[in-house]
Amino acid sequence: MPILCRPAVMVPEHTITMGETLDLARQLHADHPKLDLVLQLIENTGVHKRHLVRPLDQTLRHPGVEVRNLVYEEEARRRVPEVTLAALAAAGDLGAQDIDAIIFVSCTGFLMPSMTAWMINNLGFRNDTRQIPIAQLGCAAGGAAINRAADFCNAYPGTNVLIVACEFCSLLYQPSDSDVGSLLSNGLFGDAVAAAVVRGRGGYGVRLERNGSYLVPDTEHWISYAVKATGFHFRLDKRVPTTMAMLAPALRTLADSHGWDAAALDFYIIHAGGPRILDDLSDILGVDTESFRYSRATLTDYGNIASAVVFDALRRMFEENTLEHGAAGVIAGFGPGITAESCVGTWAVPTGQPSPQPSQSPRIATAESGMS
């Protein structure tokens, strides 16, 4: 079965704290009739800081769609190579020539040809490497990428897939949007680039055993983009925080189909769109809140980094390194649709070998490690 190897994650060097976010909201929206509610909602996210691909003063200006998309392209080309190399190193003895498909996911910029073409031309990948860009699944795309990579490896035994999630949410900031959902989003989302390899043979990490997709009927407008002359305007319905009541049964069904109890797994890697998602899932499944510590730590340190959330939560699980061989768990991404992309699998360590200790593992690209 395919193995999801240790992810590499990089967050940009520019930061904004919770305090700075609240001060900005007070300055920019002093006359907003619901300012107190907005401030409370932002505080309730529990996001201590976020990372931005541009300095704050540049982030707050809107130079136009063309300029913003050029920034997206420039920053992606600058940052993706380092994360890609780190992910290949973390996957063991693999190089670019060993990758058979690249899945590139992003909902914060648009390029055609996809970044996959640029990567093949510039990073040493074979010319026959399959290209699988995913652009419209939002935060669910992290889970979808893992599932499609597993499907590819199962369809073509022995192949390897590189996943790259590139999310520069700050490039979608719209100064003119002042609805409560937009202002909350301004204090929630952050920027990050993540990468991971799914190996068809060898490696250590999460053995991907079964996956599923579920769309909640008649919720397609709850999370969406309004495409205007000024670019993508993020739309967030006030009912979104309640979606776990509709998505948790899908996780339970997936686990049941594999003969597992969703309430009794050893690890949970869940997209943390906000704290209520994790709180409600804990209540509905009957799981201790500590089980979501990896996802909550990502939310606290980086905010909602869209499709990259599941990879950063996975990175934290690898670094904690406390799982026994065969430990069972779930990985789930949630996003527009409302869509859930989930998989179940087990922690796999090579026969006769202990899990590599954090100090033995390849360096992971993060702002804290000094990589930018």
Indicate which CATH number applies to the domain containing 280. Answer: 3.40.47.10
Tell me: do 152 and 89 sit in the same domain. Answer: yes
For residue 295, what are the CA distances in angstroms to 197, 223, 303, 315?
20, 20, 10, 10
Write down the residue that tokens 């003063």 correspond to: 57
Give the SS3 label for residue 357. Answer: coil
Helix pair angle (141-155, 309-320), 10° resolution: 70
Tell me the two tokens of residue 211: 């996956």
Of 151, 174, 199, the one marking the end of a domain is 199
Residue 218 lies in a domain: yes
d(CA 211, CA 147): 6
Residue 158 lies in a domain: yes
Number of separate domains in the chain: 2
Residue 370 lies in a domain: no
- Which of 5, 107, 139, 153 is an active site residue? 139
Structure confidence at residue 167 (pLDDT): 97
End-to-end CA distance of the chain: 34
Tell me: do 150 and 230 sit in the same domain. Answer: no
Q: What is the Cβ-side half-sphere exposure of residue 360, based on CA atoms within 13 angstroms?
A: 9
Burial class (CB in 10 A: 0-12, 13-18, 19+), 130: middle
Structure confidence at residue 363 (pLDDT): 34
Tell me: do 336 and 305 sit in the same domain. Answer: yes
Tell me: do 347 and 215 sit in the same domain. Answer: yes
Tell me the two tokens of residue 352: 């006769």
d(CA 23, CA 19): 6
Tell me: do 281 and 213 sit in the same domain. Answer: yes
Write down the residue that tokens 């520069």 correspond to: 168
Structure confidence at residue 64 (pLDDT): 94
d(CA 28, CA 20): 12
Residue 259 lies in a domain: yes
Write down the residue that tokens 């967030």 correspond to: 236
Residue 155 lies in a domain: yes
Tell me: do 245 and 190 sit in the same domain. Answer: no
Residue 152 lies in a domain: yes
Structure confidence at residue 351 (pLDDT): 58
Of 199, 215, 239, the one marking the end of a domain is 199
Contact of 300 with 281, CB cutoff 8 Å: no
139 is catalytic: yes
Of 175, 199, 223, the one marking the end of a domain is 199
Burial 93-102 (b: 16+ CB within 10 A, else e): ebebebbbbb
Write down the residue that tokens 């899932």 correspond to: 281
Rounded to two decimals, the pTM is 0.92
Tell me: do 252 and 275 sit in the same domain. Answer: yes
How confident is the prediction along the chain (372 residues), in pLDDT tens digits per residue?
Answer: 999 999 999 999 999 999 999 999 999 999 999 999 999 999 999 999 999 999 999 999 999 999 999 999 999 999 999 999 999 999 998 999 999 999 999 999 999 999 999 999 999 999 999 999 999 999 999 999 999 999 999 999 999 999 999 999 999 999 999 999 889 999 999 999 999 999 999 999 999 999 999 999 999 999 999 999 999 998 888 888 888 889 999 999 999 999 999 999 999 999 988 888 899 999 999 999 999 999 999 999 999 999 999 999 999 999 999 999 999 999 999 999 999 999 999 999 865 454 554 433 333 444 443 332
Tell me: do 220 and 339 sit in the same domain. Answer: yes
Tell me: do 218 and 156 sit in the same domain. Answer: no
Structure confidence at residue 358 (pLDDT): 43
Structure confidence at residue 361 (pLDDT): 38
Residue 86 lies in a domain: yes
Tell me: do 231 and 190 sit in the same domain. Answer: no
Give the SS3 label for residue 86. Answer: helix
Residue 311 lies in a domain: yes
Chain CA centroid to CA 143, Å: 8
Structure confidence at residue 362 (pLDDT): 36
Helix pair angle (275-285, 293-302), 10° resolution: 170
Chain CA centroid to CA 35, Å: 29
Tell me: do 167 and 259 sit in the same domain. Answer: no
Tell me: do 335 and 274 sit in the same domain. Answer: yes
Torsion of CA 84, 87, 92, 94, to 10 degrees: -20
**Domain extent for 270:** 205-363
